[in-house]
Structure 1
Amino acid sequence: MKPYLKTKDYSVTGEDFELVHDSVLQMLSTQPQPKNLDVYYKSENYISHTDAKETVVEKLYQRVKKYSLHKKVALIEKYSSGNRTLLDVGAGTGDFLLKAQKNNWHVEGVEPNLDARNRAAEKGVELNSDLDAVLEKNYGVVTLWHVLEHLPNLEEQIKNLVSVLSEDGTLVVAVPNFKSYDAQHYKEFWAAYDVPRHLWHFSKMSIEKLFGKQGMKVVQVKPMLFDSFYVSLLSEKYKTGNQNYVRAFAVGLWSNLKALGSREYSSHIYILKRQ
């Protein structure tokens, strides 16, 4: 594996990291990978573990999140085989599970962050702290919304995820795409690298190969159109120190327009089933 890019943790510690390219799997890995990652999540800026609505970025995130919850539930309705048991891995503050539960899904979730679990519990959603707690169970749908990139021991984790999926079940994985235009534009400042919280950085080929080893195939790839705008907004701040809303919007829009031809969006949702 050869070096691909040098970047840093822009949101918490300022530490330097390197992205290493795996030419076989067509993906990047963050190096070094800290043994204790908890310290890198201890930031009020880590919005996915909070329900914060104070800053413009937080308000934007929460508004898009509300819209996305409806779309996510509609997606699992479309691709499920009729088994309405759902496991959400990396459930954050529990909003997706709450929305699915209101749509008559039997839900369970995993979230390692204690503060996020406590916030979910306040909403009536009790979450497990790790995947080990559910390894003896089976689910009709397993979802990971921007979570796979955070998981250490990647191939072992994928094996476990597939093991809790029912025979005709559906696995839904959403991850950033380092081959998108906005990633190429911002380079080391691209916010979706988010090192070292993001340990892995995927392409379409890497998802196919990693899950193919466990007998899974990609049956559909869907774009996450809002991600290019949100990621560009954060990237502008990392690059220039300012939000630069107009420039961020322009880059996000151009990234989506370029992807109409390249099919390389800022983030993708992969729907997978057993081969």
Structure 2
Amino acid sequence: MESNIGRYYESNQYISHSDTTKGVIAKTYHWIRTFMLTKKRMIIDPLCQIKKVIDIGSGTGYFLNEMKSHGFEVLGIEKNKSARDFSIEHFKIDVRDPETLLSGTLMNTFDVATMWHVLEHIYDPKLYLTAIRNALTQNGYLIIAVPNYQSYDATHYKEHWAAYDVPRHLWHFDYKTIQQLVHPIGFKLMDIKRMPFDSYYVAMLSESFNKKAWSIVKALLIGFISNLISRFNPKKTSSILYIFQKINVTNNE
């Protein structure tokens, strides 16, 4: 039940909320995040006209702080109170609970909305996607990054693939199924991009259960193979970044 899921996000092992730096995996997460902040901003910048960004599932606020530091007006939507409080205290960012988005008070406000590994956590994705569409300006953009269960690393690890992340991940997507969800709401897929670091990070998490000395080496190998395959077929990358554009729902074919 949705009311019971919150406790699974309170663990220190859920780094995007706890912000812990203990252990190799946590340190790897922070290194990748720092590197990717600039990459994400560079993807978003050409899409913006009024430089207003809303991040759904904003976590501890590092991404929004990056955008704010480069002149963007930002708003975070975050369900977890401790993560919201961290963002507000450390970065002085405006972060609110999901009701602000779902209430419909943000109509035609933002030219880009982002969901960084968030959609798979949401109980009612259609409800959120509709609210996001309403919050975007005409021809605004929605960026969604999600794990790809058709990737090489997913196929290799099978039920031990860390990006299944039960019970936190409620949905699993590939290139086709995410369009089947998003397109009818009023978005058109414009582009996809690889997220090459995700294959290494997910492989490290997937290998962590066996606790063998060579598991990190194996994780790096699996991550490398997954990335190599995805260079020839981006639809096979460990995580896919989708760029959707808002379109008229009466003429969205």
The reply to whether TM is greater than 0.5 is yes
User: Partner of 2:202 in structure 1?
Assistant: 231
Alignment match of 2:73 (pick from 106, 113, 122) = 106
Is this contact kept in 2: 1:34–1:196, CA < 8 A?
Answer: no
- Give the match's secondary structure for 1:250: helix
Is this contact kept in 2: 1:110–1:128, CA < 8 A?
Answer: yes
Is this contact kept in 1: 2:74–2:94, CA < 8 A?
Answer: no
Please tell me whether residue 85 in structure 1 is matched to residue 52 in structure 2: yes
Alignment match of 2:105 (pick from 133, 136, 142) = 136
User: Partner of 1:15 in structure 2?
Assistant: none
Q: Deviations over 1:39-64 (max 9, x none)?
A: 21121100011322221111111011
User: Partner of 1:12 in structure 2?
Assistant: none
For 1:265 and 1:35, locate their aligned partners in 2 and report how far apart those are by CA, in whole Å.
Answer: 33
- Give the match's secondary structure for 2:196: coil
Structure 2, unaligned runs of 5 or more: 248-253
Alignment match of 1:66 (pick from 27, 34, 37) = 34
Q: Deviations over 1:109-155 (max 9, x none)?
A: 01111111111122112310114356311211100000000011122
User: Partner of 1:51 in structure 2?
Assistant: 19
For 1:131 and 1:262, locate their aligned partners in 2 and report how far apart those are by CA, in whole Å.
Answer: 39
Give the residue type in structure 2 aligned to 1:74.
M
Give the residue type in structure 1 aligned to 2:237.
Y
Please tell me whether residue 38 in structure 1 is matched to residue 39 in structure 2: no
Alignment match of 2:173 (pick from 202, 207, 214) = 202
User: Partner of 2:193 in structure 1?
Assistant: 222
CA RMSD in angstroms, aligned pairs only: 1.5
CA pair 179-77 structure 1, distance change in 2 beyond 3 A: same
TM-score normalised by length of structure 1 = 0.84
Alignment match of 1:187 (pick from 158, 165, 175) = 158
For 1:127 and 1:237, locate their aligned partners in 2 and report how far apart those are by CA, in whole Å.
Answer: 33
For 2:205 and 2:145, locate their aligned partners in 1 and report how far apart those are by CA, in whole Å.
Answer: 19
Aligned 1:119-198 pairs, distance under 5 A:
119-123=86-90, 124-133=92-101, 135-137=104-106, 138-198=109-169
CA pair 55-85 structure 1, distance change in 2 beyond 3 A: same
CA pair 34-85 structure 1, distance change in 2 beyond 3 A: closer
For 2:98 and 2:186, locate their aligned partners in 1 and report how far apart those are by CA, in whole Å.
Answer: 24
- Give the match's secondary structure for 1:66: helix
For 1:75 and 1:262, locate their aligned partners in 2 and report how far apart those are by CA, in whole Å.
Answer: 20
For 2:141 and 2:187, locate their aligned partners in 1 and report how far apart those are by CA, in whole Å.
Answer: 10
Is this contact kept in 2: 1:85–1:141, CA < 8 A?
Answer: yes
TM-score normalised by length of structure 2 = 0.91
Give the residue type in structure 2 aligned to 1:274.
K
Post-superposition shift, 1:257?
Answer: 0.8
CA pair 77-131 structure 1, distance change in 2 beyond 3 A: farther
Give the residue type in structure 2 aligned to 1:208.
Q
Alignment match of 1:271 (pick from 228, 240, 243) = 243
Is this contact kept in 1: 2:56–2:113, CA < 8 A?
Answer: yes
Is this contact kept in 1: 2:136–2:246, CA < 8 A?
Answer: no
For 2:203 and 2:168, locate their aligned partners in 1 and report how far apart those are by CA, in whole Å.
Answer: 18
Give the residue type in structure 2 aligned to 1:271.
I
Give aligned-pair identity as a percent. Answer: 37
User: Partner of 1:6 in structure 2?
Assistant: none
More helix by share: 2
Compare 222-231 and 112-121 and name the one that shifted more. 112-121
User: Partner of 1:213 in structure 2?
Assistant: 184
CA pair 126-83 structure 1, distance change in 2 beyond 3 A: closer
For 2:20 and 2:156, locate their aligned partners in 1 and report how far apart those are by CA, in whole Å.
Answer: 29
CA pair 242-115 structure 1, distance change in 2 beyond 3 A: farther
Post-superposition shift, 1:262?
Answer: 3.1
Q: Number of paired residues?
A: 241
- Give the match's secondary structure for 1:246: helix
For 2:143 and 2:50, locate their aligned partners in 1 and report how far apart those are by CA, in whole Å.
Answer: 15
For 1:222 and 1:57, locate their aligned partners in 2 and report how far apart those are by CA, in whole Å.
Answer: 24
